[in-house]
């Protein structure tokens, strides 16, 4: 004899009744009337062929069969929820927050390699210079800089040191003696306003002119390509422009700024897709690193 289909609504109602110990509380939790809950319970008992609840004047309690059934249902619903969570995690894109220039010039050009290796994991990139609250803003992970001497983020992954060097368009060098165009304007970003001071003190010629600072390093790089001046930035940000001759490296020296890129991860359990992405990102950063790996 064919069994009738399991009444999911009645099973869920019984689970809530067992959890709350009250038909009234169960009705409130389910958003239905108390008679509707009572009917779902009666329908379930008819299908199961046994009493699941002992009804009193002002209270209810579970029968021995009801207690065991409630425990097994709890395990079953937990497995269903885990399956739903796993499916949603696999199907939803990873949401990564990062600095604009790092995202545009470092991460996104490498994403095709990640998708080729992991076609089932999509990555959605947004940009901001502010420290992100992962849970509140609905972001899976974020990339920020941390001073080398500061404590690293709990559960975070170190990526690489922030390196800087000067670059300019070939037109800047025309008619200039030597390799350094002394009259050219210095270009940088407001986010990293001290980078020119760091580089000039350690590796560059003396300069008294203040740099022209843009909202982002991306804008400063574009200004340098247009011949506006010399930009200070990470060599990895302009590798393609140097290879195609749009920019020229003005020094063989790249210096560490003292900052490190870190991948900020959520506290607690890291999902499978995010763990795969984090491992890949660390490998990419280590392969790109131009200085020996050092502990912060």
* pLDDT for the residue 3: 57
* pLDDT for the residue 20: 86
- Whether residues 49 and 145 fall in one domain: no
**Contacts for 250 with CB less than 8 Å, ≥ 6 apart:** 165, 166, 167, 168, 179, 180, 181, 230
* pLDDT for the residue 292: 42
Count of domains observed in the chain? 2
* pLDDT for the residue 291: 42
Tell me the whole-structure pTM to 2 decimals. Answer: 0.65
Angle of CA points 138, 90, 99, to nearest 5°: 40
Across the chain, which has 296 residues, the per-10-residue mean pLDDT values are 68 86 86 88 86 78 87 82 62 87 95 93 90 83 88 84 95 73 89 92 78 95 96 95 95 91 86 92 85 38
Whether 146 contacts 274, CB under 8 Å: no
Range of the domain at 125: 96-296
Distance CA 116, CA 36 (A): 52
The answer as to whether 1 is a domain residue is no
- Whether residues 145 and 211 fall in one domain: yes
User: What is the DSSP pairing of strand 141-147 with strand 94-98?
Assistant: parallel
The answer as to whether 134 is a domain residue is yes
* pLDDT for the residue 186: 94
Distance CA 69, CA 91 (A): 33
- Whether residues 73 and 119 fall in one domain: no
**Contacts for 184 with CB less than 8 Å, ≥ 6 apart:** 168, 172, 229, 230
* pLDDT for the residue 294: 36
* pLDDT for the residue 271: 86
Q: Of the residues 72, 91, 110, which one is the last residue of a structural domain?
A: 91
* pLDDT for the residue 62: 87
Please give the helix or strand (H or E) that residue 278 lies within, else none: helix 272-288
The answer as to whether 116 is a domain residue is yes
């Amino acid at each position: 004899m064919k069994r009738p289909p399991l009444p999911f609504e009645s099973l869920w109602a019984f689970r809530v009744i067992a959890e709350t110990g009250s038909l009234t509380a169960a009705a409130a939790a389910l958003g239905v009337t108390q008679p509707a809950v009572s009917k779902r319970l009666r329908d379930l008992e008819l299908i199961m062929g046994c009493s699941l609840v002992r009804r009193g004047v002002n209270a209810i309690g579970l029968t021995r069969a009801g207690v065991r059934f409630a425990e097994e249902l709890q395990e079953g619903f937990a497995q269903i929820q885990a399956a739903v969570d796993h499916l949603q995690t696999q199907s939803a894109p990873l949401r990564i927050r990062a600095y604009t220039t790092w995202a545009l010039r470092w991460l996104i050009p490498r994403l095709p390699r990640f998708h080729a290796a992991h076609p089932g994991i999509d990555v959605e990139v947004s940009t901001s210079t502010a420290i992100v609250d992962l849970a509140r803003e609905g972001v899976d992970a974020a990339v920020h800089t941390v001073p080398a001497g500061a404590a690293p983020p709990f559960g975070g992954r170190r990526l690489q040191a922030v390196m800087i060097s000067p670059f300019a368009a070939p037109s800047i060098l025309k008619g200039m003696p030597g390799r350094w165009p002394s009259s050219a304007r210095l270009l940088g970003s407001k986010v990293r306003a001290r980078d020119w001071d760091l580089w000039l003190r350690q590796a560059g010629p003396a300069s008294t002119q203040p740099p022209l600072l843009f909202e982002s390093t991306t804008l400063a790089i574009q200004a340098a390509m247009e011949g506006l001046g010399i930009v200070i930035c990470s060599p990895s940000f302009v590798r393609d422009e140097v290879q195609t001759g749009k920019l020229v490296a003005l020094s063989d020296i790249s210096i560490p700024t003292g900052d490190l890129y870190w991948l900020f991860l959520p506290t607690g359990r890291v999902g499978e897709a995010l763990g795969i992405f984090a491992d890949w990102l660390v490998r990419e950063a280590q392969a790109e690193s131009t200085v020996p790996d050092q502990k912060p």
